[in-house]
Amino acid sequence: MSPAARLRSALAVAMAVVLGCAVYMAACTAQLVRTGSHDNGRIADVIVVMGAAQYDGDPSPLLEARLRHAAELHRAGRAPLVAVTGGKREGDRFTEAEASRAWLIRNGVSDSAILGEDGGRSTWESLAALAPAMRDAGIESAIAVSSRWHVERVVLSLRDLGFVASASPVRIAGYAWFDEDDAAPATYREIVGVALGRVIGFRRLHQITG
């Protein structure tokens, strides 16, 4: 094969790879948006609420919106249990899970209906730490409650951990598809993370990215 032919062949392979990656990323984007836009109404064994910032025991507006949504699902009979997640930052007196549990109890959810973990500092850490308690309680299925841009990662991580999972995304005025901390498009970061996680698994992704 002549040098020119080899170059054309290499360019064709490179273009095919780029096109394949573009199609894959487009499919991941479409699925993330779809998951973050629909609640299929399924019932489950537990509602898993992902943590967010808390201020000395009081949930931030974002966390409160997630908790309010989870409480509504619980009252509607979608699941008999609610699981809370999330550790704390250096200097905090309370964990996200503690603030979440206290809010749920104040708003009518029985303490006996709440389980959780309070050490996780990322989506995977929180769910991996929660998984043993879920298994001990005989839980097989979960409804993931989180922001629209984040709930796809939660669902896929729960599935990686062996649970049947569906999504119930939370829509919050002012947050839309954006990160609550810096108003940057967190959706873009989630697309990349979810795309990688689908290929290598979310446990492995956490090991690489922390």
pLDDT (0 to 100) of residue 185: 64
Residue 116 dihedral angles phi and psi, to the nearest 5°: 175, -175
Domains of the chain: total: 1
Helix, strand, coil share of the chain (percent; to 5): 50, 10, 35
Q: What is the pLDDT of residues 87-110, one digit of tens each?
A: 988 888 999 999 999 999 999 999
pLDDT (0 to 100) of residue 134: 97
pLDDT (0 to 100) of residue 176: 54
Count the alpha carbons within 13 Å of 105 in the hemisphere toward its beta carbon: 11
Burial class of residue 182, CB neighbours in 10 A (0-12, 13-18, 19+): exposed
pLDDT (0 to 100) of residue 179: 45
Is 190 within the bounds of a domain?
yes
Is 25 within the bounds of a domain?
no
Burial class of residue 20, CB neighbours in 10 A (0-12, 13-18, 19+): exposed
Please name which of 37, 100, 116 lies closest in space to residue 68, comparing C-alpha atoms: 100
Instruction: Dump strand ranges (E) for the chain.
Output: 46-49, 54-55, 58-59, 81-84, 114-116, 141-145, 164-167
Q: Residue 152 is part of a domain; what is its CATH number?
A: 3.40.50.620
Residue 81, amino acid: L
Tell me the pLDDT of the chain (210 aa) as tens digits.
777 777 778 788 888 888 989 999 999 999 998 999 899 899 999 999 999 999 999 999 999 999 999 999 999 999 999 999 999 888 889 999 999 999 999 999 999 999 999 988 899 999 999 999 999 999 999 999 999 889 999 999 999 999 999 999 998 765 555 444 444 567 788 899 999 999 999 999 998 887
Domain limits for position 199: 33-209
Is 203 within the bounds of a domain?
yes
